[in-house]
Amino acid sequence: MPLFADATDPWLTLLQFTVIGLTKGSLFALIALGYTMVYGIVELINFAHGDLFMLGSFVAFTILGLFGVQSAGDPYADAGFVLLCFAAAIPFCAALNVAVDRVVYRPLRNAPKLAPLVSAIGVSFIFMNVGLFWGGSQDVNFPNLVSDDNLFGETAKIRFTAKDLMVIGVTVPLMVALTVFVKFTSLGTAMRATAQNPTAAKLMGINTETVIATTFAIGGALAGAASVTYGLYINTISYQIGFQNGLYAFTAAVLGGIGNIPGAVLGALIIGLVVSLGSVYVGERWTSALVFAILIVILVFRPSGLLGSRTREKV
């Protein structure tokens, strides 16, 4: 099972699985950001977000199918296909998220909070059904376009593959871009204002509905990027991946303090580490239970998440 060269050195094992954990964590972070931003603006736990991510991966899968891409071939052509997947899945998820907000959540803006939440569960069911019709009830193999070769050479003691690099290469720039957007653009400022106090933001002349639509678009776009990355990284997708990954991402968002952008990233990295290190030191089958147990323990001591109470800023 050990993919890395030296399994005997415990420190190397720790380092190796920390690397894997951080890679997985940054993937969770992309999904978690969608949860946390939407929550920050409209206080809605968007249960459909994980399933939006799942549909994004099916868009990418279908596009690769249209071009008959089965496995890695010419590297330049593959790079083109990968870019095409991103170019399709990101707008698809963004547009779908905005459309759902417009049709389902917007009429419920002034309703009790339970109403949009239950509607989100409903949307999640419908998305899952679409995924079921789209991909069938079994796992589907996503073409393995990114190489598994160790970038440090096959004899190196630590394994860091092109796939890991791709995940980092997609997630980190997106997170940086998001931070810059929220902190330094006028729309980002409007977003923070709306999150802090929607009424006051409206009085200041901010079109809060535009801000909300933008938030859903950004959340959806991040989910779209995450979905293609996930497909290329894990290589198996099914209509159920939305639930499991969405749950982890949502847990990450809450762990960090829901509504808080750095919190979501921190939470996701912790979840990634717990999943990865837990699979070595506790056992693969206990990792899910471990994630939630840690979540409960952390929330007992910090009821509004790790970064939740310190920063009141919510976007």
Partner 1 sequence: MKPYRLGWEPAIFAMLLAYPLLPVFESSFFALTKRSLGDQMPTVFIFAILALGLNVVVGYTGLLHLGIAAFFAVGAYVAGILTVGAYPFGAPFVVALVAGTLVAALLGLLLGAPTLRLRGDYLALVTLGFGEVVRFGLKNLDAVTAGAKGLSPLPPPTGPEVGIDWIGDYRPFYYLTLLLLIGVSVMLSNLERSRLGRAWIALREDELAANCMGLNPSKLKLAAFALGAGLAGMAGVLYATRLTSTAAPDAYDFNKSVFILCCVILGGLGSRPGVLLGVFLLVGFDNILSPILDTAIQQTFPSNESRIYRTFTGWRLSIFGLALILMMRFRPEGLIPSSRVKHELHPDEAVAMTVHPVTLHGNRREPEGQS
> Which spans of this chain sit near partner 1 (rule: CB under 8 A)?
39, 43, 45, 104, 107-108, 111-119, 121-126, 128-130, 132-133, 136-137, 196-197, 243, 247, 250-251, 254, 258, 285-286, 288-289, 291-293, 295-296, 299-300, 303-305, 309, 312
Q: Is the separation of the CB atoms in 135 and 58 below 8 Å?
A: yes
Nearer to partner 1, 280 or 299 (CB): 299
Contacts of 16 (CB under 8 A, 6+ apart): 4, 158, 159
Nearer to partner 1, 123 or 261 (CB): 123
Least spacing, CB of residue 113 vs partner 1, in Å: 5
Nearer to partner 1, 191 or 228 (CB): 191
Q: How far apart are CA 236 and CA 138, in angstroms?
A: 10
Least spacing, CB of residue 283 vs partner 1, in Å: 8
Least spacing, CB of residue 213 vs partner 1, in Å: 19
Least spacing, CB of residue 254 vs partner 1, in Å: 5
Render the burial of 77-114: b for 16+ CB within 10 Å, e for the rest: ebeebbebbbebbbebbbebbbebbeebbeebeeeeee
Q: Is the separation of the CB atoms in 305 and 254 below 8 Å?
A: yes
Closest C-alpha to 234, from 51, 61, 74, 89 = 61
Nearer to partner 1, 108 or 166 (CB): 108
Nearer to partner 1, 138 or 186 (CB): 138
Q: What are the C-alpha distances in Å from 297 to residues 81, 82, 130, 266, 301? A: 44, 40, 36, 17, 7
Least spacing, CB of residue 22 vs partner 1, in Å: 23
